[in-house]
Amino acid sequence: MDKRSAGAFLSLRCRLGVFIGLLLLVLSFSAGCRPDLLSDRTAEEQIPPLTLDEQADRLVASMTMSEKVGQMVMIGIHGKQLDEDSRYMLRQFHIGGILLFDRNIESGDQLKSLTAQLQEYAQGKEAGQKLPLFIGLDEEGGRVSRGRAVIPAPLSEREIGMGGDPAQAEESAGTTAAILQQYGIQVNFAPVADINGGDSRDYSGDAQTAAAFVSRAADGYEKAGMIYALKHFPGIGRSRVDSHREVSRVDVTEAGLEQEELVPFRAVIGHKSPENYFVLVSHLIYPALDAEHPASQSEAVMTGLLRKKLGFSGVVITDDLEMGAVANHAPYRELGKRAVQAGADMVLICHEYAHETDVYLGLLDAVKSGEISEERVNESVRRIVRMKLAHVL
């Protein structure tokens, strides 16, 4: 190598060295200014995201007992806008859900405003809830269509069933879900999984046919991302007494229940994720299971049959506790307590604020006295929180 080439080579090495040095200096300066960026990224890569169970456990652990008990109660409200009564219920009792009725609905804009107001207030500074509300509606179709002021009433289940095509149940459920979601409603208390009802509320008097339609309706709700409710466990089709008025006894053997009433419920339970739906329990008495207590107050029905035998691990909710079948036979402070002791996770009480207050206070008093254990409350609230994490948050 001659002197000229050597000089050029040394000059190139010198310039390259200076460039690398400056580059290292810039990188060092950047890392020095924000060392947290690298460390945070590394930490994020090393720490896996929390599972649904872990998230639920953290939320439950952060709640007071008053807040937990409130999550276990779903109420109705009066009026078509957020008023002081509904504010008080949300603020004072940490209520977990609202079931709307036609009395609450006037127009689409009004309904959308109401649901937004409810959620905003529940999670705002005054009420301070850690979780959104469940906001639900009974939109079965046919004569049970609470939102008919703004929602075209779906066909009744029996009309769909008579069409002979279970796919129509899926289509109807999906359409209904999409409309309800536009108005801030996340829960539809449908489909009816009863048989032999003799009216338009069930798909069929044949267990297997009803099961096929109920299963496809569940598919429709799940594809739309809407929470639904199988009702009225373990089946009210044989009853000829309106449980809104009085209690009824369903004289069917356990074998008869297995062969008939339970078939549509089994078409969903064990086949769908339990975070996606409620099972709503009726107020009828089934002597073959429990000769003394309505299903919504019966450990044999809710814990023995639904939990243990059918294996349901999701949220169990009662039918409305203001219905005569139970309200005529016990004070409200007892009804909610008995339901939870028997296995319910949530109690539904929908009409009078005084009754709703009594149910909440009865539950809270039962926990304070030890009649309901904190562990039992945590078990239910964990299921409720899991469902809210999966769908509402």
The CATH number that applies at residue 267 is 3.20.20.300
Residue 30 has pLDDT above 50, yes or no: no
Q: Does 89 lie in the same domain as 222?
A: yes
Q: What value, to the nearest 5°, has the Cα angle with vertex 102 and ends 162 and 188?
A: 55
Helix, coil or strand: residue 11: helix
E strands in 105-213: 134-137, 139-141, 144-145, 187-188
Mean pLDDT, rounded, for 296-302: 98
26-35, 36-45, 382-391: least confidently modelled range: 26-35
Least confident of 20-29, 239-248, 294-303: 20-29
How far is 156 from 172, CA to CA, in rounded Å? Answer: 10
Q: How far apart are CA 193 and CA 203, in angstroms?
A: 8
- For the chain, percent of residues with pLDDT exceeding 70: 85
Number of separate domains in the chain: 2
Residue positions counted in the chain: 393
Q: Does a structural domain hold residue 51? A: no
- Whether 93 is covered by a domain: the verdict is yes
pLDDT for residue 16 is more than 60? no
Q: How confident is the model at residue 244 (pLDDT cuts 50, 70, 90)?
A: low
In the 8-state DSSP scheme, what is residue 344? -
Q: What tokens appear for 56 in the block?
A: 């639920």
Q: Residue 210's closest CA among 175, 237, 247?
A: 237
pLDDT over 60 at 287, yes or no: yes
- Pick from 16-30, 86-100, 234-248: least confident: 16-30
Q: What is the pLDDT of residues 135-178, one digit of tens each?
A: 999 999 888 889 888 888 889 999 999 999 999 999 999 999 99
Mean pLDDT of 252-275: 96
Report, in this order, helix, strand and coil percent for the chain, each rounded to 5. 55, 10, 35
| Per-range mean pLDDT, top range of 31-35, 193-197, 212-216 | 212-216
Whether 11 and 105 share a structural domain: no
- Domain span at residue 24 reads 3-45
* pLDDT of residue 13 exceeding 50: no
Task: Say whether both 35 and 62 belong to one domain.
Answer: no
In degrees and rounded to multiples of 5, residue 107 shows phi and psi of -155, 170
Within a 10 A sphere around the Cβ of 357, how many other Cβ atoms?
19
How many CB atoms lie under 10 A from the CB of residue 333? 18
Mean pLDDT of 188-204: 87
Cβ proximity of 346 and 303 under 8 Å = no
Instruction: Check: pTM over 0.85? Answer yes or no.
Output: yes
Grade residue 198 by pLDDT with cuts at 50, 70 and 90.
low
- Residues 252, 359, single domain; the answer is yes
- Residue 243, in any domain of the structure: yes
In a shared domain, residues 196 and 331: yes
Q: Tell me: do 20 and 111 sit in the same domain.
A: no
Question: What secondary structure, in 3-state letters, does 222-268 show?
Answer: HHHCCEEEEEEECCCCCCCCCCCCCCCECCCCHHHHHHCCHHHHHCC
209 vs 201 pLDDT, higher one: 209
- Statement to judge: residues 60 and 32 lie in one domain: no
Residues 135 and 16 in one domain: no
> Residue 363: which residues within 8 A CB-CB, separation 6 or more?
69, 72, 73, 336, 337, 340, 347, 372
Residues 98 and 129 in one domain: yes
**Once rounded to an integer, what is the mean pLDDT over residues 241-259?**
80
* Measured distance CA(202)–CA(184) in Å, rounded: 27
Residues 23 and 107 in one domain: no
**Predicted pLDDT of residue 392:** 81
Catalytic (active-site) positions: 244, 319
Instruction: Report if residue 206 sits inside a domain.
Output: yes
